[in-house]
Structure formats: C-alpha cells, structure tokens
C-alpha cells in the first residue's frame, strides 16, 4: 500500500469554476510524503479536477447518495487542460508515469471514459498494434520520364493533348513486365508526389464557376492519397522501359502499379 489520500470538499466548493477547491488535503502512508493542506490555492488545481472527474465515474459511496449525483461533471475543456498540466508535471518528475498518464488521457479523449492507467496502457498497445496492421507499404516500381515538368503546363487528362512519355521500371520488377507489348491499353497508377494531401474540396478542373466539390467526386491530383489513374496505350517496349502515348503525369512521377484494360468478358 502506497498510502492514503484523503480529500475533504465542502459541497459548494466542488462547483468552483476553476475546479474543485478542497477544505482539507491529507496525504500520509508508508510510501507517501506526509502532507496536510488547507489552502486549495496553494496546490495545483489540476490534480483535483482529474480526481473528481474519475470519482464521478468510479467512486463507491460508503454512505449517502452516489458520487455522480453529488459531484459536478467538470467541463471537457477544464478536464483537457487538467490533463495537459498533469502531463507537463509528470514529464518533469517521472517519464514512466508521464507515459501512463498520457495513455489514460488518450483513452479519455477518444471515449470520454476513465480507465485505470494500466488498462489505458493496454488499450493504447492494442490500438497501436491495429494501426501497424493497417499501415500500407507502398513502394514505387518505376518512374515516369516526360517532357512535362510543371503542373501548370500539363493537360488535365491524357487525351487532352498530353505528350508521349517513357515508363522507366526498376530492374527488380522486370519479370512482371513480360506480356506487355506495343498496342496494349494499360491502366497506370501513379503517385502524385507534388500534390497537396490536405485538400478535401476543390473547384473541378480549377474552374471557380463550378463551385467547390469534394475531391473524391473529382480527378483532382490534390487529395489525401494522391494516386493518379491513367489509361495509356503502349507505343514501344525496350527492356524495362515502356513508351506510352498521352500521359499527363510530370517527369519524375513515381509509378505505383500497372494493369491491363479488360476486354469483353469472353476475351479475358
């Protein structure tokens, strides 16, 4: 046992807008410094905001009404700033505890519920594990070589006057190019490396008269995952280099994948 934290509040003082103001804060026990506080302004208020918020959800009533009916629900902003102050305090005094407190704050921010620090750390591990599973490992398999170098000079789509270009594939994927020949129609997937990834709304084709549209209803290169989709015709194949007609991707654009355009069902 670490010790006893006994905090006494007058009913009216738990409603203090700066957070609950105690009448007595007594700490004592085998692994706790003895402390008796009578002045709530002499001690950081954030501990008591967190304690009362946790008590509302988890405390057991020994006598009298349930805690949630006696203790006010602190405003979310007040709890958020108490978390921030507690984290700053822990970072200065105990980095291990800071991590546990951060896990509990993260669980609260996500669910609005209070977990013990141990349970919050467990929940964080599980959620990080899940994120790692979802992490996609996308590697370029080649690069576009094109006379186009500026976004402003590129046509919006390949069939709007784009030049011929070379797809320079990495040697490591050479075997995957077998079967591709002049005359083939391909779907080329590129990674628009010069796109903005924080754009969710655009004027389609940059035409302000058309109003704002969600990027997923447009072919804008600026989007969270800037993948370009191009239908191209193969002009020539030279080892790992494939020349295609009408490609509006800029010089240096990474290639993500390439697939054939499908013909009729009975021709596949």
Ligand X SMILES: C[S@@+](CC[C@H](N)C(=O)[O-])C[C@H]1O[C@@H](n2cnc3c(N)ncnc32)[C@H](O)[C@@H]1O
Sites of contact with ligand X (CB under 6 A): 151, 154-157, 192-195, 219, 221, 228-230, 248-250, 253
Minimum distance from residue 140 beta carbon to ligand X (Å): 11
Q: What is the torsion angle, in degrees rounded to the nearest 10, for the CA atoms of residue 72, residue 76, residue 80 and residue 86?
A: 10
Cβ contact 105:91 at 8 Å = no
3-state SS class at 17: coil
Neighbouring residues of 41: CB distance < 8 A, sequence distance ≥ 6:
21
Minimum distance from residue 267 beta carbon to ligand X (Å): 25
Minimum distance from residue 219 beta carbon to ligand X (Å): 3
Cβ contact 240:169 at 8 Å = yes
Is the Cβ of residue 25 or residue 146 nearer to ligand X in the bound state? 146
Minimum distance from residue 220 beta carbon to ligand X (Å): 6
Is the Cβ of residue 18 or residue 151 nearer to ligand X in the bound state? 151
Is the Cβ of residue 149 or residue 172 nearer to ligand X in the bound state? 149
Minimum distance from residue 184 beta carbon to ligand X (Å): 18
Residue given tokens 């010069």 in the structure block = 194
Cβ contact 252:136 at 8 Å = no
Is the Cβ of residue 74 or residue 158 nearer to ligand X in the bound state? 158
Minimum distance from residue 161 beta carbon to ligand X (Å): 11
Is the Cβ of residue 87 or residue 250 nearer to ligand X in the bound state? 250
Q: How far apart are CA 142 and CA 139, in angstroms?
A: 9
Is the Cβ of residue 113 or residue 219 nearer to ligand X in the bound state? 219
Which backbone phi and psi does 53 adopt, to 5 degrees? Answer: -60, -40
Is the Cβ of residue 52 or residue 249 nearer to ligand X in the bound state? 249
- Number of H helices and number of E strands within the chain? 5, 11
Cβ contact 105:88 at 8 Å = no
Cβ contact 49:83 at 8 Å = no
Minimum distance from residue 228 beta carbon to ligand X (Å): 4
Helix axes 95-111, 117-134, angle to 10 degrees: 70
Q: How far apart are CA 23 and CA 40, in angstroms?
A: 7
Residue 249 DSSP symbol: P
């Amino acid at each position: 046992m670490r010790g006893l934290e006994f905090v006494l509040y007058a009913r009216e003082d738990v409603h203090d807008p700066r957070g609950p103001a105690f009448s007595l804060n007594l700490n004592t026990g085998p692994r706790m410094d003895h402390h008796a506080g009578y002045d709530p302004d002499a001690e950081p208020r954030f501990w008591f905001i967190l304690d009362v918020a946790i008590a509302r959800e988890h405390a057991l009533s020994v006598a009298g009404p349930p805690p949630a009916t006696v203790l006010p629900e602190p405003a979310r902003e007040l709890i958020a700033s108490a978390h921030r102050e507690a984290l700053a305090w822990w970072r200065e005094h105990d980095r291990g505890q800071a991590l546990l407190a951060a896990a509990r704050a993260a669980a609260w921010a996500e669910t609005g519920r209070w977990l013990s620090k141990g349970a919050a750390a467990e929940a964080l591990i599980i959620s990080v594990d899940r994120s790692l599973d979802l992490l996609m490992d996308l590697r370029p398999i080649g690069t576009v070589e094109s006379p186009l170098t500026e976004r402003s000079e590129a046509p919006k789509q390949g069939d709007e006057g784009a030049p011929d270009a070379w797809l320079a594939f990495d040697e490591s994927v050479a075997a995957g190019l077998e079967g591709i020949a002049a005359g083939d129609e391909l779907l080329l997937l590129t990674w628009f490396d010069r796109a903005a990834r924080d754009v969710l709304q655009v004027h389609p084709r940059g035409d302000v008269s058309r109003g704002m549209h969600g990027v997923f209803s447009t072919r804008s290169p600026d989007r969270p995952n800037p993948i370009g989709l191009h239908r191209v015709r193969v002009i020539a194949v030279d080892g790992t280099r494939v020349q295609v007609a009408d490609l509006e991707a800029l010089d240096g654009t990474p290639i993500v994948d390439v697939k054939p355009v499908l013909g009729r069902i009975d021709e596949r």
